[in-house]
Structure 1
């Protein structure tokens, strides 16, 4: 699996949601795969939900928030058919596509042993603060141990 780390500058970090929207649009433009934005923060989820609809005055990024994991909705195909971008706090069992991870955990933390999920690529965002940098280093080490292809970009 290919893992890309995006290390944000101070300027980019000030528009964190805008950067995520741009990254999502770029990923969608470059491929036909669905995209999952993983977040465990309800505030970020709500803000992203709004930002994806209003990112650009002339367009929007169609998306859908995943139901609560307690709802036992394991059939994601219908959700993906409705919108190419999913937002949620878990990885659906049958997800195959790009994952944009905003959590403190590596993506493999969200892949259950019985899951059929096979992300093709992971996008990690590192903000310019000590906590985010340390979390990024921890994720990098985890991915490195799994022999994933790692690269990073300073933006």
Structure 2
């Protein structure tokens, strides 16, 4: 599995939502796979939900919020979620069962933590976002070491 770390500049970090929207659109344009944006912060989740609908007047990014990890929502069960019936971009605090696609991780945890609680999930690529503040950099180093120990292919980009 390929893990890419995006180390954000101060200006990109200030437009964090815009960067996530841009990265999601780029991932969709370059792949036929679904994109999962992992978010544990409910405020960020709601704000990103709005931002994806209003990205550009001519090209919004179709997406769907997953039900909370501990609940089920009408029509979408955690255990029986099928990526083929969902929108190209998913937002949530967990990984759906059988997910096979690209993960944009905004959480402080490595994605393999979410994979252990999910039935048969195998992301093909993980995009880690690192803000320029000390705590985000420290969390990024922890995630890097975790992925390195698992033998994943690691790359990083300064944006």
TM-score range, shorter chain: over 0.9
Gaps of 5+ in 1: none
Pair 1:89-2:93 in alignment: yes
- Give per-residue Cα distances to partners, 1:111-139, cap 9 Å, x unaligned: 12662000000000000100000000000
1:81 positional shift: 2.3
Pair 1:14-2:14 in alignment: yes
Pair 1:75-2:56 in alignment: no
1:75 positional shift: 2.0
What is the TM-score when the length of structure 2 is the normalising length?
0.93
**Following superposition of structure 1 onto structure 2, how do residues 4-153 of structure 1 map, counting pairs within 5 Å?**
4-72=4-72, 73=77, 74-77=79-82, 80-112=84-116, 115-153=119-157
- C-alpha change, 1:14 and 1:114, in structure 2 (3 Å) is closer
CA distance in 2, matches of 1:84, 1:68: 19
User: More helix per residue: 1 or 2?
Assistant: 1
Gaps of 5+ in 2: none
Determine helix, strand or coil for the equivalent of 2:91.
strand
Moved over 3 A (4+): none
CA distance in 1, matches of 2:155, 2:48: 25
The answer on whether the counterparts of 2:95 and 2:118 sit within 8 Å (CA) in structure 1 is: no
What is the TM-score when the length of structure 1 is the normalising length?
0.95
Size of the aligned set, in residue pairs, is: 154
- Considering only aligned residues, what root-mean-square deviation do their CA atoms show, in Å? 1.3
The answer on whether the counterparts of 1:17 and 1:48 sit within 8 Å (CA) in structure 2 is: yes
Determine helix, strand or coil for the equivalent of 2:143.
helix
